[in-house]
Structure formats: structure tokens, C-alpha cells
Structure 1
Amino acid sequence: MPAVKVIRVMGTSEESWEEAAQEAFAEASQTIDDISGLNVERWTANVEDGEIVEYKATTEIAFPVDH
């Protein structure tokens, strides 16, 4: 079984938590090959005047590492 590295990446969106998680994945995909998993660790948001103005998804991205 290959070794796996896990990094934490936060994505943001003005629309939804799901979109924030997708952004985290898309950003990680630009520099990481063979992503094998994504775990949403935490959902948070910024609120102004009683409205959510920014959704945040803190994710853990897993990918194999070469020895």
C-alpha cells in the first residue's frame, strides 16, 4: 500500500458550502496529481448584518506520495 499525504485546504464561496468545498478541491488539483480523497473537516461562514456573506469549507485532501 502506498504512503498517503494529507494536506488541509480551505475553500471559500459567496454561494454555498458545497461550492466552497469544490473550490478547495479545484485549487489543490492545480498542483497535486492523483488526489484520492477529500474530507470536509469543518463548515464555517462570515456573517454581516444578519446574512451569510462568505461560506468556508476546511478540507483535508489526500494523495499518494512516491518513495
Structure 2
Amino acid sequence: MAVLKVIEILANSDTGWEDAAKKAVSEASKSVKNIKSVYINEQSATVEDGKIKNYRVNVKITFEVK
């Protein structure tokens, strides 16, 4: 039986939600090993002058504890 743990990460990007999610996984993988999945919990964006300025994601990252 595997033991899994979930952490929550907030990340942002100037280009899109997908890029923000990739940044979250990339940053988490610097200190967390055995990442198994990512769940996009929330998406939001900041708007300036009628245009999206920054994309934000709140993700849950699941990893195996060995």
C-alpha cells in the first residue's frame, strides 16, 4: 500500500493557466519527490485596462511518501 500526501500550491503566469500549473509543479519538484498528480483546485486572473494581466492557479499536488 502506498502512502500519499497532498500539498497546496499557489502559482501565477503572464501567459496562461496551463503555464501557471506547470510552474507550480516545477517549483514543487525542487523540494518534493515522487509527485504523482496535480489537481487544479481554482483558477483566477487579474485584469488591468480591460485585459487579463496575470493568470493564477491554486493546485493540489499529490506525492508518494517513501
Q: Which residue of 2 aligns with 1:33?
A: 33
1:47 Cα deviation from its structure 2 partner? 0.8
1:1-52 deviation digits (Å, cap 9, x = unpaired): 1111100001110001100000000000100011011011111101111111
TM-score (norm 1): 0.92
**Which residue pairs with 1:58 in the alignment?**
58
Aligned equivalent of 1:46: 46
Please say if 1:24 is aligned against 2:36.
no
Corresponding residue pairs, total: 66
| Helix, strand or coil at the partner of 1:23 | helix
Structure number with the higher strand fraction is 2
Query: Separation in 2 of the partners of 1:65 and 1:33?
Result: 8
Q: Which runs of 4+ in 1 moved over 3 A?
A: none
Structure-2 residue corresponding to 1:6: 6
One-letter code aligned to 1:15: T
TM-score, normalised with respect to structure 2: 0.94
